[in-house]
């Protein structure tokens, strides 16, 4: 029930909305008859009949009574503030804490004049309460989202023993416990499966399980950014890591050394691979699970975000029958996806394509893929020596890490093969000095390099909360737009679809360096990267920053994103 203040105010709602032209007189009469039948207030009836939205009702109430009104789907709620009250209180009074600043808690309420609710929270927290108005649906949805997740985790760990450990006791000398002990621990199985499922359905690329203080922090990397998804009591650490190690066929008894393994899953008929690594820390073991989802890979070059002019030049470059083509950028910049998309485009019955990767992330038909296995003596360099005896037309070397691999790759490009590889450099031009540092002679680089594609990944603005705004002078300056007509830009306001980040999905920004005669002369003279880069820009190369600025102006991403990665 609403307070008398709001009930009295809502009595005038219908006539006010008619006066504003938001509903018709006939709609008001229809709502009045329905109100008499159901006993609901006028606002509830109008919303249920679809004549107005709940947001419009809240705006009317908030403006009329001078109360702040918010839409929770556009709001980032502080989890620590929520825990100041219990679920029963939240549901009973239809409230949810939003954030706490010093001694003041801001709380979203269906009825900000409910003095009983305000006094209840004040008594529980000994804080000053500042109410704001929000819709009941938004508040109940937030309650379900927060306490529902906590309930699921608590249910999963109910089957553990009272000290928080599972029922098995690892034998350090036996390489792990008998399989039945972990397979029969249903609660831990469900917990781990839930973490995997939440990460995959949430579009995460990595899962981080981090023992810290008295909690296990569970974080997902989504669109390149880490965010906390949940947490568990530290007592459950042993059982959780034991289950994951068991699935990854790792030595459960070994806790003092970093370990690596892999897990194969089927989630909703999708085959998912998890690359697992552990690292000993103060409170136990940190676990990273890297998610490889073939269904999420964009295998077409046209879907990566490469501009029209750049992709035309890149396609011309990869049509060469020999030489070396490099893709550069930091870890997580999408290099592997670009290389796979390139191979997917050029593959055919007329080509023998062979790869050496670490690891093979996605299997491709029509491509002979090999994998590094240092324990078996298979390294990039040893595999490359073997590959050149397999009559290859195209070779993919996952990464050039050492002088021997660099020399072999360049030599293969010089002797009639088309070689693709990746390098970790900040710019496309930086790949030249990196190979030079690894012992490749400048004359070989000038002769073999056909093109270098530099790239980064930027987050896309969420399409559900995208809004237009006037940018600051700083943004104009960073985009190189000083003195030009000031355009409007776009950003994400933040909503549930994007976890209040304002971003959802990613796209690449690129620069393509194609050596011509002048640039080859600079390479021969071992010119610095900056000189090579300046020459390439002078000849028309679009830089990473410029390509990013173009995507900002097109409303795909934001200035802050482009600055962050470039």
Fold equal for 158-295 and 301-460+505-550: no
Domain 301-460+505-550: CATH class, spelled out = alpha beta
What are the tokens at 254? 């070994």
Nearest to 448 by CA among 476, 483, 411: 411
C-alpha 13/C-alpha 341 separation (Å) is 58
Q: Is the pTM of this model over 0.85?
A: no
* Structure token pair of residue 341: 């998309």
pLDDT tens for 281-313 read 988 899 999 998 776 666 688 889 999 999 999
Nearest partner of 403 among 364, 434, 370, 362, judged by Cα: 434
Cα separation, 339 vs 459, whole angstroms: 20
- What pLDDT, in 10s, does the model give residues 480-501? 766 556 678 899 988 877 877 8
Q: Look at domain 158-295 and name its CATH class.
A: alpha beta
User: What is the number of helices (H) and of strands (E) in the chain?
Assistant: 23, 18
pLDDT of residue 203: 86
Non-local (6+) Cβ contacts of 446 within 8 A are 515, 520, 521, 523, 524
pLDDT recorded at residue 161? 39
Domain-wise residue ranges, the chain = 1-54, 158-295, 301-460+505-550
Q: What are the DSSP E strand ranges found in 329-426? A: 353-357, 368-371, 394-397, 418-423
pLDDT at 74: 64
Q: How far apart are CA 563 and CA 527, in angstroms?
A: 27
Res 408: pLDDT: 93
CA distance 551 to 557: 6
d(Cα 278, Cα 261) in Å, to the nearest integer? 9
The CB density around residue 472, as the number of other CB atoms within 10 Å, is: 11
| Residue spans of the chain under pLDDT 70 | 1-13, 39, 54-55, 60, 62-65, 73-76, 148-185, 295-299, 481-486
Q: What is the pLDDT of residues 433-468, one digit of tens each?
A: 999 999 999 999 999 999 999 999 999 999 888 898
CA angle 528–531–536, rounded 5-degree value: 125
The H or E element that residue 513 is part of is strand 503-513
């Amino acid at each position: 029930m609403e307070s008398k203040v709001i009930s009295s105010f809502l009595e005038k709602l219908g006539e006010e909305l008619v006066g504003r032209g938001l509903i018709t007189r006939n709609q008001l009469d229809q709502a009045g008859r329905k109100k008499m039948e159901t006993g609901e207030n006028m606002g509830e009836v109008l919303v249920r009949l679809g004549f107005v939205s709940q947001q419009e009702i809240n705006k009317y109430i908030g403006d009329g009574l001078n109360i702040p009104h918010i839409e929770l789907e556009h709001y980032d709620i502080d989890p620590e503030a929520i825990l100041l009250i219990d679920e029963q209180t939240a549901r009973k009074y239809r409230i949810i804490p939003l954030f706490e600043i010093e001694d003041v808690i801001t709380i979203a309420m269906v009825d900000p004049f409910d003095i009983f609710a305000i006094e209840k929270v004040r008594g529980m927290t000994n804080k000053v309460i500042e109410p704001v108005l929000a819709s009941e649906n938004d508040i109940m949805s937030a309650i379900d989202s927060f306490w529902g997740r906590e309930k699921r985790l608590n249910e999963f760990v109910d089957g553990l023993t009272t000290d928080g450990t599972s029922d098995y006791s690892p034998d350090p000398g036996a390489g792990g416990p008998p399989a039945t002990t972990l397979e029969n621990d249903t609660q831990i199985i469900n917990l781990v499966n839930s973490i995997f499922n939440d990460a995959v359905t949430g579009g995460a690329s990595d899962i981080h399980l981090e023992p810290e203080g008295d909690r296990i922090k569970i974080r997902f990397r989504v669109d390149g950014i880490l965010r906390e998804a949940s947490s568990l009591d530290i007592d459950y650490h042993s059982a959780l890591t034991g289950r994951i190690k068991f699935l990854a066929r790792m030595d459960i008894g070994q806790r003092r050394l970093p370990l690596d393994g892999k897990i194969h899953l089927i989630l909703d008929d999708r085959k998912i691979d998890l690359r697992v690594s552990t690292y000993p820390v103060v409170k136990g073991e940190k676990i990273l699970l890297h998610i490889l989802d073939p269904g999420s890979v964009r295998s077409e070059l046209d879907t990566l975000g490469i501009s029209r002019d750049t992709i035309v030049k890149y396609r011309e470059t990869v049509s060469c029958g020999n030489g070396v083509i490099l893709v550069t950028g930091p870890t997580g910049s999408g290099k592997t996806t670009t290389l796979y998309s390139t191979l997917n485009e050029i593959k055919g019955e007329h080509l023998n394509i062979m790869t050496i990767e670490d690891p093979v992330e996605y299997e491709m038909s029509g491509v002979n893929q090999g994998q590094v296995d240092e324990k078996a003596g298979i390294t990039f360099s040893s595999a490359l020596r073997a590959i050149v005896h397999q009559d290859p037309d195209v070779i993919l070397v996952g990464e050039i890490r050492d002088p021997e691999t660099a020399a072999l790759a360049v030599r293969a490009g010089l002797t009639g093969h088309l070689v693709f590889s990746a390098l970790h450099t900040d710019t496309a031009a930086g790949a030249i000095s990196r190979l030079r540092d690894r012992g490749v002679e400048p004359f070989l680089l000038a002769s073999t390099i056909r093109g270098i594609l530099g790239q980064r990944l930027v987050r896309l603005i969420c399409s559900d909360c995208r809004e237009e705004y006037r940018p600051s002078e700083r943004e104009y300056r960073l985009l190189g737009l000083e003195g030009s007509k000031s355009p409007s830009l776009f950003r994400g306001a933040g909503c549930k679809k994007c976890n209040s980040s304002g971003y959802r999905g990613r796209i690449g920004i690129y620069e393509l360096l194609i050596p011509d005669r002048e640039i080859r002369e600079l390479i021969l003279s071992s010119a610095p990267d900056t000189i090579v880069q300046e020459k390439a820009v002078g000849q028309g190369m679009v830089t990473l920053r410029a390509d990013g600025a173009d995507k900002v102006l097109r409303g795909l991403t934001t200035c802050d994103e482009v600055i962050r990665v470039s």
